[in-house]
Amino acid sequence: MSRHAHTTSPQRWGTGFPAPMEALRCVVAAAPETPTIVHDPDGIDAEITAIRHGLSLLHVPGSRLLFSVKANRSRAVLTHLASRNIGAAVSSVAEDRAAAEAGMSPRYATSPGLSGADLIELHKSGTHLDIDSIDQLAAVPRHSETGLRLSVPIPRESTARDMPWSRFGIRWEDAGERGKAQAVLKERKLRVVRLHAHVRDIGGVEDVRPLGRALAHAARDLPEVDEVNIGGGMIRLFHHNQEAIAPVFECLAEELARAGRPLRVLAEPGAQLVTSHGYLITRVLSVRRHEGRQSVTVDASAWNLAGWSRFHLAMTGADRGERWTTDLTGPTCYEKDLWFAGMATDRIEPGDLVVLRGAGAYVGSMLRVLHGLAAPGESLLGTADGAR
Q: What domains, with CATH codes, occur in the chain?
A: 21-40+277-380 (2.40.37.10), 41-273 (3.20.20.10)
pLDDT in tens, 201-245: 899 999 999 999 999 999 999 999 999 999 999 999 999 999 999
Spatial separation of the C-alpha atoms in residues 134 and 383, rounded to whole Å: 46
pLDDT in tens, 82-130: 999 999 999 999 999 999 999 999 999 999 999 999 999 999 999 999 9
- In terms of Cβ atoms closer than 10 Å to its own Cβ (0-12, 13-18, 19+), residue 304 is buried
**In this prediction, what percent of the chain has a pLDDT beyond 90?**
87
Cα four-point dihedral sign 7, 10, 14, 20: positive
Lowest mean pLDDT among 145-159, 220-234, 273-287: 145-159
Q: Is pLDDT above 80 for 188?
A: yes
Lowest mean pLDDT among 1-5, 68-72, 276-280, 371-375: 1-5
Identify which of 121, 130, 129, 122 has the alpha carbon closest to the alpha carbon of residue 150. 130
251 is catalytic: no
Q: Indicate the SS3 state at residue 85.
A: coil
What integer pLDDT is reported at residue 5 of this predicted model? Answer: 38
Spatial separation of the C-alpha atoms in residues 27 and 1, rounded to whole Å: 12
| Selected catalytic residue, list 175, 333, 374, 384 | 333
Residue 46: CA atoms inside 13 Å, Cβ hemisphere, count? 17
Spatial separation of the C-alpha atoms in residues 146 and 214, rounded to whole Å: 18
**Enclosing H/E stretch for 38:** strand 36-39
pLDDT in tens, 38-81: 999 999 999 999 999 999 999 999 999 999 999 999 999 999 99
What integer pLDDT is reported at residue 155 of this predicted model? Answer: 59
Does the pTM exceed 0.85?
A: yes
Q: Which residues does 174 contact at the CB level (< 8 Å), separation at least 6? A: none
